[in-house]
Amino acid sequence: MAEVNNERTSPMAKTWFITGTSSGFGRLLTERLLVRGDRVAATVRRPQALADLKAHHSDHLWIASLQMTDSDAIKATIGKAFDDLGHIDVIVSNAGYGLFGAAEELDDNQIRDLIDTNLVGSIQVIRAALPHLRKQHGGRILQVSSEGGQMAYPGFSLYHATKWGIEGFVESVRQEVASFGIGLTLVEPGPTQTNFGASLISSQSEEIYANTPVGDLRKAFAEGSFDVKGDPHKMVEAMIASVEQNPAPRRLTFGAAAYASIRSALQGRLTELENQKDAALAMDIDP
């Protein structure tokens, strides 16, 4: 772990704790915050991944190696960050990855590792941060989810399970801690020009799924035929700006594709619910 100046750099400067900072949103967010003079406590699996940033921002960058499947380490690392830095304004639970394959194609180890990282790891980050945020009378938590937290593609069943799961967790916790001045926001990007695809893990394909929607998506990945338009730099700026909003926004939807897919999913569910209204109301005990 690296030592960092325990004093705020300016009255407007903030201190952030961010998981998964070696690439993607975590890396871009860390870079942008350091440039603007904020302090960042960054976690990575390999600290050398941030060596270039440390060389230029040694007084503002605190680094710790963290494996998101180790709940004890998550608690200890967050505690150490608060002890060393004195005050942390924003927690960004960002670490995670994707897993592609039909549900029955996935093996048990792939399933367990994904759930332990994306869902249990994210839950433990939030749980570990809450006592410290309460003690300092408030703070903000950004949980990076996905459009996939409200809709679903074939072939991503376990990934969606982790994102739908963390969204339900955050929806509940935000009600539990609002009176302590702690705000929680779900960040829901659609397809974005990060390296998410490079870290995507795929199952062994089975021939039976070749001519199904899963097979179609697998072919599209292989051909690189997706048109990804999401701008991660704009999204990072919006994430930073969101912590100034009061109350904390419940969700941040990023990208035209995310807006369209989530809107379609919500409209479809609402239509189905309304179609079942009479049956639902008839299920109560008769007076």
Question: Tell me, what's the pLDDT at 177?
Answer: 98
User: Where do the DSSP E strands lie in 98-240?
Assistant: 99-100, 139-144, 182-189, 201-202
CA distances from 111 to 83, 106, 107, 143, 159 (A): 35, 7, 6, 21, 9
Positions marked catalytic: 159
pLDDT at 229: 87
- Domain 15-281, CATH number (from 3.40.50.720, 3.40.190.80, 3.30.70.1560, 3.50.50.60): 3.40.50.720
pLDDT at position 196: 65
Backbone angles phi, psi at 37, to 5 degrees: 100, 5
Residue 142, helix vs strand vs coil: strand
DSSP state letters, 166-192: HHHHHHHHHHHHGGGTEEEEEEEE-SB
Q: pLDDT per position in the chain (287 positions), as tens?
A: 555 655 444 557 999 999 999 999 999 999 999 999 999 999 999 988 999 999 999 899 999 999 999 999 999 999 999 999 999 999 999 999 999 999 999 999 999 999 999 999 999 999 999 999 999 999 999 999 999 999 999 999 999 999 999 999 999 999 999 999 999 999 999 987 776 666 789 888 899 999 999 999 998 888 876 777 889 999 999 999 999 999 999 999 999 999 999 999 999 999 999 999 999 999 999 98
Q: Residue 32 and residue 238: Cα distance in Å, rounded?
A: 12
- Reported as a single tens digit per residue, the pLDDT across 167-209 is 999 999 999 999 999 999 999 999 877 766 667 898 888 999 9
Nearest to 18 by CA among 52, 50, 44: 44
- Residues 121, 127, 131: CA angle, nearest 5 degrees: 150
Torsion over CA: 111, 171, 184, 164 (sign) = positive
The domain spans of the chain are: 15-281
| 69: helix, strand or coil | coil
Contact (Cβ atoms closer than 8 angstroms) between residue 258 and residue 188? yes
| 62/42 Cα distance (integer angstroms) | 6
pTM of the model: 0.92
Q: Quick one: which H or E segment has residue 18?
A: strand 15-18
Q: What is the pLDDT of residue 125?
A: 98
Provide the phi-psi class of 212: left if phi over 0, else alpha when psi is between -120 and 50, else beta. beta
Element (H, E) at 282: none
Q: What's the longest Cα–Cα distance across the chain?
A: 72
| Contacts of 218 by beta carbon, 8 Å cutoff, 6+ apart | 100, 155, 202, 205
Q: Order of strands across the sheet with 15-18? A: 61-65, 39-44, 15-18, 90-93, 139-144, 182-189, 251-254
